[in-house]
Structure 1
Amino acid sequence: MTTTTKVSICLPTCNRPELLVRCIESCLMQTHTNIEIVIGDDSHDDRTAQLVTSRYGDDPRIAYRRNVPALGQAPNVASLFERASGDKILLIHDDDYLLVHCIETLLAQWSRHPDLEVAFGDQYETDHDGRIMHAASERMNRAYHRTPSAAGLQDPPGRAGIVQMFPNNGWLANAALVKRIGYDDRYGTCCDYVFGTRLCLAAKRVCYVNEYVSCYRMTDASVSQATRRSINASSISAWQFLEGLALPPDLEPARRLARRRLVPIVVSLLARNREARAGLQLALGNLYAYRFGLSPRLYYHLLMIWKATRRPREEPVAPRGIDHGVDASRTRMP
């Protein structure tokens, strides 16, 4: 299908040419063909540049740029938004990929809701080799409040971002709005969550489509996996961002729902990193996140906190390494 609506697919990549090919091919196979693929490469060597040149050098739909020096996760994405020339923008990370009807499905929502600004759907979860894990996919979408009963326009729109219903990539949005929001580097590894929340808060209308449109690949090399046990984990940054948000009264229930998921993760991280007092205060101050003591997880975390007070003080766990090509807002609960 070809329409007059041009879609800019923004694709940040870093050191993963072996995964990038499938991502690019999924973009080129879209049933909506009026696209450009804007690639920002933060790789430390020439492998990705050589691959893109040899396979796609003559394809006018692909606009590749090597960042020297590397920009970093958020600045790389921000630079892609600036380079995008389409009416709509879609973000996809280099280890993930789109289903062939992704853009067509999401773009169709503008015909139903002309004043729409943001649309997103469900994500499949895949293993490292890209094989879809159906049961895990259902659990993931349910955990992020993407269910059949939630389909349609979101009211209020900002709720979709706050509770992490809005996905890290595979979404479609008006280019003008995306460029106005931009990617904020101040929150480190949770920049995807910060962007999604701010985008939905700023949008007039946000639509969720209860249909799979993209695939999220589980890898050990992601930012969220590399830092997930450290004090630099994305959940810590997400918590700080969430607590600092100035929200109208109608969005406070969404903040409370987001806290319910984040509090146990942050308490666990604080305990692992010898921040026992902070972890205890957070747990006791948000007991509803533990079903007011009915969740065994509370007592497990209290045990972790107690053990942290008994061990000699050590340096916080350091992250193992960071790449800039993936999302960090999807840290799994410990």
Structure 2
Amino acid sequence: MTTTTVSLCVPTCDRPDLLVRCIDSCLAQTHTGIEIVIGDDSGDERTAQVIAERNGNDARIDYRRNLPALGQARNVASLFERARGDKILLIHDDDFLLADAIARLLAPWQRHPDLEVAFGDQYETGHDGRIDYAASRRMNHAYHRTPAAAGLQALPGRVGIVQMFPNNGWLANADLVRRIGYDAQYGTCCDYVFGTRLCLAARRVFYVNAHVSCYRITDVSVSQATRHTMNASSIAAWQFLERLALPRELEAARKLAMKRLVPIVVSLHARNHEARAGFALALGNLYAYRFGLSVRLYYHLLMIWKASRNQRAETILLRGVPDEPPAVDTTRARMP
């Protein structure tokens, strides 16, 4: 029996301490037909030295330092091009796999040979790699990964749109992955854009209701560093989804995804003193707030009101014009 070769693509940048756990988890896979393709955007030699010392003689590892650095999206795209396996799995350097991840993800192909994509559940961990089980349950439920949803997906495109598709813990046919590519246009949202386009293009997508990977929350994660700014992935995801051309049968999925994204984007506008944009977005998408029945709407309106006051105060300060004419103190006698 021919063993399916899987290319595990690992983009990394200046995080050798976290990368070690990621590589170890790849090497520990129960499925033996693997190669580990690493693209290093680091600004120094630490990552190269760690890999040379720990894995320098391992023929399964294909390491390359990018000089100059390519950036996240171009780095991932280059890994897809270098991959020689029949299937591709993407795992970011701060995340890691469970030992049977590939075996679990490959299993559906035995029953469905024409399958193109499979994915599973994620655990959420802290910086130390310890699993937070309660947070993991909430995350998977929020992204519609539930026992009732297991198996072949009736609408493959829906999987990507509603963010059921994870940023790691997925496996796909290499030719499909390369055809979709990895677009740098959407910055920190490139994972979501890729997953959506992959699922829209796939004819058959399978959800394995089992944990296969660990998503690590760290202070150095791009998503964490930008989550309160206008560069947050939620802003880019909303913009991408709003402009995405979809068939009629997927409009319900778009609305479901927007129901989650819109309140996040409204709050980001308020946090970043974009009061008018936040107010317009909230009023234009009241379904996301259950048409006024959600307390969250009034909290966000309060945030917007405060942002509006701050904007006005900053404008007055910059112009050097007082908000109101100075009051005249009539109790004092005039100076001679």
Q: 1:138 matched to which residue of 2? A: 137
Q: 1:189 matched to which residue of 2? A: 188
Alignment of 1:6-21 (within 5 A): 6-21=5-20
User: Are 2:261 and 1:281 equivalent residues in the alignment?
Assistant: no
- Helix, strand or coil for the counterpart of 2:62? strand
Deviation string 1:97-155 (CA, Å, 9 cap, x unpaired) is 00000000100110111110000000001111000111110000000000000001111
Gaps of 5+ in 2: 316-336
- Asked if the contact 1:11/1:38 (under 8 Å) is kept, the reply is yes
The CA deviation at 1:312 is 3.3
User: Are 2:174 and 1:175 equivalent residues in the alignment?
Assistant: yes
Deviation string 1:278-312 (CA, Å, 9 cap, x unpaired) is 11111111111111111111001000111111113
User: Are 2:99 and 1:100 equivalent residues in the alignment?
Assistant: yes
Alignment of 1:22-41 (within 5 A): 22-41=21-40
2:89 partner amino acid: L
Runs of 4+ in 1 over 4 A off after TM superposition: none
In 2: Cα distance, 1:3 partner to 1:131 partner: 36
TM-score, normalised via structure 1 length: 0.92
- Helix, strand or coil for the counterpart of 2:208? strand
Q: 2:257 matched to which residue of 1? A: 258
* Alpha carbons of structure 1 residues 94 and 3: separation in structure 2 relative to 1, 3 Å: farther
Alignment of 1:74-89 (within 5 A): 74-89=73-88
Deviation string 1:167-222 (CA, Å, 9 cap, x unpaired) is 00120000000000010000111000000000000001000010000001110111
1:60 partner amino acid: A
Q: How many residues align?
A: 314
2:242 partner amino acid: E
Identity %: 78
1:39 partner amino acid: I
Q: 1:270 matched to which residue of 2? A: 269
TM-score, normalised via structure 2 length: 0.92
| Structure ID, larger Rg | 2
Q: 2:318 matched to which residue of 1? A: none
Aligned-pair Cα RMSD in Å: 1.2
- Asked if the contact 1:32/1:104 (under 8 Å) is kept, the reply is yes
In 1: Cα distance, 2:198 partner to 2:69 partner: 26
Q: 1:155 matched to which residue of 2? A: 154
In 2: Cα distance, 1:45 partner to 1:3 partner: 40
Alignment of 1:183-222 (within 5 A): 183-222=182-221
2:9 partner amino acid: C
In 2: Cα distance, 1:140 partner to 1:174 partner: 26
1:306 partner amino acid: W
- Asked if the contact 1:3/1:32 (under 8 Å) is kept, the reply is no
- Helix, strand or coil for the counterpart of 2:169? coil
In 2: Cα distance, 1:215 partner to 1:232 partner: 25
- Helix, strand or coil for the counterpart of 2:89? strand
- Helix, strand or coil for the counterpart of 1:312? helix
